[in-house]
Amino acid sequence: MNTRAWAILAVVTALFSAGCQEERELVVGKVDTAIVFENDPQYSELAVQYLREQTEVKQKFLESLRTAETDAQKETAKKGYQDKQTELNGVWAKKTGEFLKTRHEKIQAAAKTIAEDKSIDVVLIDSKFYPTVEWGAVDITPDILLKMQGEQQ
């Protein structure tokens, strides 16, 4: 046989071999990150701390507004409040961003481990607020919660 015939035979054999392999359906998993964050005590602590600081800034503003006698003093108090709010929001945007980054990394690592254990091919972020999966995905949110709670202890 010549080279061309061998090449054709090799291609035909490869096609038959590929067709004989057992096909496996794609397994999709989903995780609801809103639930993960709702059950995260550190996330709750962060939210409480933010509200506490917001309340403190507002109370100081209201006190300075109450003691202001002139319009100029009231304007100064308003400006000071706006500046303090801007500063506080900047600090908290950074804190929140860092926290969310580390949490998403932990969720991703947990999802990877669980997906490997359960032979899940793809894991999607799903949420009751922004659903991405209508039906048919394996919900691994409870597994991720258990894994993350186990790591915190």
Q: What is the 3-state secondary structure (H, E, C) of 4-31?
A: HHHHHHHHHHHHHHHHHCCCCCCCEEEE
**Residue 10 located in a structural domain:** no
**Residue 34 located in a structural domain:** yes
What does the alpha-carbon distance between residue 135 and residue 119 come to, in Å, rounded to a whole number?
18
What does the alpha-carbon distance between residue 147 and residue 114 come to, in Å, rounded to a whole number?
9
Tell me how many domains the chain contains.
1
| Region for 68 from its dihedrals, namely left if φ exceeds 0, alpha if ψ lies in -120 to 50, beta otherwise | beta
Please state the pTM of the whole predicted model. 0.67
Highest mean pLDDT among 25-34, 37-46, 47-56, 123-132: 47-56
Lowest-pLDDT range of 13-17, 54-58, 122-126: 13-17
CATH code: domain of residue 147: 3.30.910.20
More confident of the two residues 2 and 51: 51
Kindly tell me if the per-residue pLDDT of 26 is higher than 90: no
Residue 67 pairs in a beta bridge with none
**Residue 119 located in a structural domain:** yes
Kindly tell me if the per-residue pLDDT of 6 is higher than 60: no
**Residue 15 located in a structural domain:** no
Q: Which domain holds residue 55?
A: 27-152
**Residue 69 located in a structural domain:** yes
SS3 content of the chain, % helix, strand, coil (to 5): 70, 10, 20
Q: Tokens at residue 151, please?
A: 């790591």
In contact, 152 and 146? CB cutoff 8 Å: no
**Residue 115 located in a structural domain:** yes
At 149, the pLDDT band (50, 70, 90 cuts) reads: confident
**Residue 48 located in a structural domain:** yes
**Residue 1 located in a structural domain:** no
In contact, 40 and 141? CB cutoff 8 Å: no
The pLDDT value given to residue 7 = 44
